[in-house]
Amino acid sequence: MSSNPTPGLARFNAAADSAARAALREACASRTWGSRILARRPYATADALFAASDAAMAELTAADLAEAMAGHPPIGRPTPGDATSSREQRGMSGAGAGLKAEMLELNLAYQEKFGHVFLVCATGLTGEQLRDAARNRLDNTPEQEREIVRTELGKINRIRLGRLVEDAADPADAAEGARP
């Protein structure tokens, strides 16, 4: 990446704190993560922003992770009107009724065991891959699962931040357009 920020990154760097914070909340619901990203502005490159995101993610407490997870709908049930969750869960959109029913059962079993939504970076995965991931992760301990969730959130945040800094729109517009 060049040493000059992309137009989207330059806009993010220059945005008012309130607009940048709103855009970051669309990427990750953890207020702690967002505050850490905001505090380190400006970013010279998208890679610097991603590194800051990774560092902030590594430092999140269990409560911070729970707050971040609360911003994610269950796999197979994107939030109505939310283009981001629909796009990210596209692999489930063409799934048959049997696979959707199985995913619902797996989501419920996962939530029963771990106390939170099954979280996976769903971008680019098929419905079958999402089902298999849920099946495999049900055997994990809560400690193993917490670290897997941290890794998956980091992947999701990188994708969402990438869209934010590549987007030519104002960060406030991106935040407003992402949710009804």
pLDDT, tens digit, for every residue of 113-125? 999 999 999 988 9
Cα 135 to Cα 150: distance, rounded to the nearest angstrom: 18
| pLDDT tens digits, one per residue of 78-128 | 667 667 766 777 778 788 889 989 999 999 999 999 999 999 999 889 999
Say how many CA atoms lie within 13 Å of 144 toward its Cβ.
7
Say how many CA atoms lie within 13 Å of 22 toward its Cβ.
14
Provide mean pLDDT across the span 146-170.
88
Which of 25, 48, 12 has the alpha carbon at shortest distance from 171?
12
Please give the residue that has the higher pLDDT: either 170 or 110: 110
Residues 178/164, Cβ–Cβ less than 8 Å: no
Is 10 a residue whose pLDDT tops 70? yes
Residues 180/82, Cβ–Cβ less than 8 Å: yes
Architecture per CATH, domain 7-178, reads as: Orthogonal Bundle (1.10)
Residue whose entry in the numeric block shows the structure tokens 């009107």: 81
Residue extents of the structural domains in the chain: 7-178
Residue 15 has a pLDDT of 96
Provide mean pLDDT across the span 142-167.
93
Joined tokens for residue 30: 């953890």
Residue 3 has a pLDDT of 55
Residues 76/107, Cβ–Cβ less than 8 Å: yes
171: enclosing H helix or E strand: helix 171-178
Residue 167 has a pLDDT of 63
Cα 151 to Cα 147: distance, rounded to the nearest angstrom: 6
| pLDDT tens digits, one per residue of 32-74 | 999 999 999 999 999 999 999 999 999 999 999 999 998 888 7
